[in-house]
Structure 1
Amino acid sequence: MEDKALATNNGNSADIGFEQKIWSAADVLRGNMDAAEYKHVVLGLIFLKYISDKFEERYLELQADNDDVEDKDAYTEKNVFFVPPSARWNVIAEAAHKEEIGSVIDDAMRSIEKENKRLKDILPKTYSRGELDKRRLGNVVDIFSNIKMVDHATGKDILGRAYEYCLGKFAEQEGKRAGEFFTPACVVQTLVEVLKPFKGRIYDPCCGSGGMFVQSAMFVDHHAGNLKDISVFGQDSNPTTWKLALMNLAIHSIEADLGPFNADTFHNDLHPQLKADFIMANPPFNLSDWNDGSLNDDPRWKYGLPPSGNANFAWLQHMIHHLSPVGKIGLVLANGSLSSQSGGEGEIRRKIIEDD
């Protein structure tokens, strides 16, 4: 995969104070862990604090109305995850400086997954492992205990910004490898502004951490649209990245169909009948060995079989195959795709242009 340029500004510079505060607090945890491993620890903890705050907000509403505060349906009807008593933040905060803090967090994650089917097998449960410094973990829990993830004054979930900001910071640290899960916000925003996905089905066949969907939802919201007018579909082959996306979308209250599991888009298309109105993607550049010969007769290659050594035009044709008659595509491809003649790519490109 070619190195995709990573921006240092996630598009949140106007509110960078809060995001930086979250990042600085979480950075206490790092120790000797590398960024690829450390990000799941941090993002999972942020997610846990977020759903705890959202739960508490709904809990207090029910309490004020003298309703049953333990009625699970009263939370799910408001798109709030139900947090069982043993997993609530006060329990975690009380255990912050106990040796078993890691196990307490792991157990909380398991309990939340059990009560919320959308989160089954999604949340990280590795906080009790020996290499994670429990003293530092407890200090971060203390810091998070004093940060409200939901801005009650404006009604906006400020954690969504922090989550995206931290994804960007991890991308900076991981460098080239980060292209698998993160596309710079400036690139995503450009695609969204061009396509203007106000209404219809939105699809990303290599969705990474879900940035295209988040920016699409923000676009609709900023232009006084209705999020109920868009439907979100996607998939990703990397199991860890797929879980990141589900957490990211949950934080932003975006309901999406990312398939029941992670899967290779070429060999296991999880949305075979989908015809999308908007397709936005940043597929891995110049992916080799994507076709072992079993895909040679696939109906998606309307304009010609892409070379097995480079998947650029396989991605493009896959997207065209899933496009509705009035649909639009916005994607990022390697520069060489504009001029390459190898493996029949020039002929494929010519046919696509002539058919447009």
Structure 2
Amino acid sequence: QHPDLKADFVLANPPFNMSAWGGEGLREDKRWKYGVPPVNNANFAWVQHFIHHLSPNGTAGFVLANGSMSSNTSGEGDIRKAIIEDDLVACMVALPGQLFYSTQIPVCLWFLSRNKKQRKGQTLFIDARKLGTLTDRVHRDLTDEDIAKIADTYHAWSGRGDPSGLAESSSSSIAGRPYMDIPGFCKSVTLEEIRAQGYVLTPGRYVGAAELEEDDEPFEQKVARLTKEWRDLQAEARRLDEVIDTNLQALSNDG
């Protein structure tokens, strides 16, 4: 449907690692500008489908399995390389696990743009794997603050300010501030740096480690404090053992 459609915005959540997608019958498809996708995985068929339908100033955002950021299987690495070299990748976001009820596959966000304006030759990497809150043992949700932190970072980097007009009400500490790299969370990377990493788009490769908070407590005081805390915990553990032994003995006598 709509083979000639050119869209300013594309948002999608395609099936992850789709194996039965009919690739054998689409080897000559005009959408495969950057390379023919493997017949056993549709990830880069979807990516190129989205690119094909972008307008000259279009932007696409979509969810894919993490493997799409680094896989070299069946030519996927060559396709990713060609897309990167065409300067289409605006931003990559690594998301925390356990976000989906239907799958435990870790996922990422791709943001592509045909017009990166003042960010030509650059890509923003965001490592959001530590964000989110567990709602139960196996599921995690991103809070409004988490989402705002990611969005505000991208908007600051892209120079688009606050297109939603919600910066004043945003709970993010980044809202309204100029972009800056944050070790362990985000970094703006040049095409040369991505080439040096073999065209891998995993944010963890680029953002580095988070800076440790400064600790002004003298070393001797810290050792003394931790030693006391440990001894207090040991004493409490012995007390609880005695309570448990007493209760078990009482149950035995009652029997």
- Structure-2-length-normalised TM-score: 0.34
> More strand per residue: 1 or 2?
2
- Structure-1-length-normalised TM-score: 0.24
> More helix per residue: 1 or 2?
1
